[in-house]
Structure 1
Amino acid sequence: MKSTAISAHLQLTPGQRYVELARPWTLVALYSGLAVAGWWWLAVPVAVAVCLAAFVQMHDAMHNALGLSKPVNERILTLSGLLILKSGHALQVTHLRHHGRCLTEDDPEGAPATWKFSRVLWQGPWHILMLRRESLRIAPNTRRIQLLETAFTVLLLAAFVGLYLLTGSLVGLVYWGVAFLMSATMPIWASYIPHHVASRYPAARVAAAMAQIWTPVVSSFAFHHVHHHYPRVPTALLHRAAAELPPPPEELHHH
């Protein structure tokens, strides 16, 4: 199969693109409805799903893998980042550095994958703050958009507090708490585990089987090494890339 055919085959169809773009925002609406109704036992898990879906969308936007024009892709990167209370462009800087210098000393995003697990647990929550500093150092030319997105995040948090003070509603504060927990554990589920679990392991095999059913979140775990080798393939299609493209060497991306 020619490379052009491979590229076309592993791009999102218009219908798939709509699903990928709509998923986190549909979940936000669902969370809001459940939280307003006071069904917290459902709302909190949905908030976790929002953060994971936003992470996948932001990640695909980082690699321009959604098949969007550059201006639209830039907006999606900003908006999906705000869903997890982050600067999408700041995370893009350190993520692209991770791809270029994977697990080296000059790879701040991948650093937790080289630590002992105990260190990931206690230092991980502060790691995301370090990445913000590193992103400004690595790409000072994107300083304006990084700081603008940071300001938007602060305004969003202020709105959550204001909502509580004015109405007594916990909808925003609970979401903030969930997003904080997801950020604090991100070095575990987005760095340490993907770089330590090879595709031959039972957990990865189960995830690979599940990925064919639905979830891009599972795909990002099961086919992490595939993503490193074929970063322009959308997360939702990584299972197809794993089945059809030449297998990449996993040892380059595992510690």
Structure 2
Amino acid sequence: MAPEMGAAMPPTQTVPDARPAVFHDPRLRSVEWRDLVPVHPSEVLAEPLLPAAWLAASLVMAGYGHYVLALGFSFFFFLTGLRVVHNAFHTALGMSRRSTDIVLWIMSFVMLGSMHAVQFNHLRHHKLKLGEGDVEGRSAEMPAWQALLFGPFFPVLLHVTALRHGNRKLRMTILGELLMSAVWIAMVLGFLHSSVLRYHLAAMLVGQCMTAFFAVWTVHHHCDRTHYLARTLHNRIKNRITFNMFLHIEHHLFPRVPTCHLPELSRRIDRVAPDLRSKIVF
């Protein structure tokens, strides 16, 4: 039996079967992965605490005027925030769907924008896999400098695509999250007079503009749809520093496996198909 290929597409979006040949590799049938899907209660609690800790540290440093340190903490908050929403996209947080939906609303407020719009495009990305119509993966074919310049347009494109192709419920959710962000930004810039909150908004806007490069280009550049779809990391220390977010070929092969279990999945894949992990992120 072939590996499952992730969550179902929204009912309003019809996408042709664009699976590359690597996903039919018979070697992958021997990879045990279903035992890695369940999330332990301690992991359910730890996952949202991870970005919360980095967020608190960044705000404290900004409050004391140490903005260089604050930026470092904000970077790791955004990275771990992406880890949380990424698991939420695939209902891999170990929570109910309702609770997962609430997480996406909260992260939309903290990180700005609509995480439900990002989810819509991410599930399309898993279906189309760098093919035509894969909006999320568009920067993968660009040179690095162009992916960086593309950054400010990337979040806009994600939101426009989701609003254009999503169903009515999704559109209302996206508009609600965007309205929430707009009100929040207006309050901070208008009458809250908090330099810490203004710093946080600025840091999140920068983070959103960098996702095309850091979250897409770094893991997909110079890859192809026939065999080497994505990149990965072999070094245990590098994976700890990046919170396993760059174990990306592993994620594409078995998207239901939560990020916290990707290191074990990576070892299992390496035993049967080491060539699939030949392209590294850094």
Q: Which TM bucket (shorter chain)?
A: 0.7 to 0.9
Alignment of 1:3-18 (within 5 A): 6-18=33-45
| Aligned counterpart, 1:82 | 109
Of 91-100 and 173-182, more deviation after overlay is shown by 173-182
Deviation at 1:99, TM superposition (A): 0.2
Q: Partner letter of residue 171 of structure 1?
A: V
Greater shift, 242-251 or 25-34, is seen at: 242-251
What is aligned with 2:251? 227
Q: Which has the higher contact order (CA 8 A, sep 6+)?
A: 2
User: Which of 226, 229, 233 is residue 204 of structure 1 equivalent to?
Assistant: 233
Alpha-carbon distance in structure 1 between the residues aligned to 2:117 and 2:196 = 27
Mapping for residues 79-228 of structure 1, pairs under 5 Å: 79-141=106-168, 142-162=170-190, 165-167=191-193, 169-196=194-221, 204-206=233-235, 208-211=236-239, 214-215=240-241, 217-221=242-246, 223-228=247-252
TM-score by length of 2: 0.76
Any idea what SS the aligned residue of 1:65 has?
A: coil
**Residues 47 and 229 from structure 1, CA distance in 2 versus in 1: closer, same or farther, beyond 3 angstroms?**
same
**Which 10-residue stretch deviates more, 181-190 or 64-73?**
181-190
Runs of 5+ unmatched residues, structure 1? none
Distance 2:37 2:157 in 1: 35
Closer, same or farther: CA 49–159 of 1 in aligned 2, 3 Å: farther
Deviation of residue 55 (structure 1)?
A: 1.0
Deviations, residues 42-70 of structure 1 (Å, cap 9, x unaligned): 22221222211111101110000111011
Unaligned stretches of 5+ residues in structure 2:
1-28
Quick one: structure 1 residues 250 and 124, their matched pair in 2 at CA, closer, same or farther if it must change by over 3 Å? farther
Aligned equivalents of 2:149, 2:218: Cα separation in 1: 16
For 1:248 and 1:132, how far apart are their aligned partners in 2? 37
How big is the shift at 1:71? 0.5
Q: Is the 8 A contact 2:250 2:265 kept in 1?
A: yes
Looking at secondary structure, tell me which structure has more helix per residue: 1
Instruction: Find runs of 4+ consecutive structure 1 residues off by over 6 angstroms.
Output: none
Q: TM-score, normalised by structure 1?
A: 0.84
Report how far residue 35 of structure 1 moved: 2.2
Aligned-residue Cα RMSD (Å) equals 2.8
Structure 2 Cα separation of the partners of residues 183 and 53 of structure 1: 14
Instruction: Name which of structure 1's ranges 88-97 and 148-157 shifts more when overlaid on structure 2.
Output: 148-157
Secondary structure of residue in 2 paired with 1:103 = coil
- 1:54·1:83 contact (CA, 8 Å) conserved in 2? no
CA contact (8 A) 1:21 1:57 kept: yes
Q: Percent identity?
A: 26
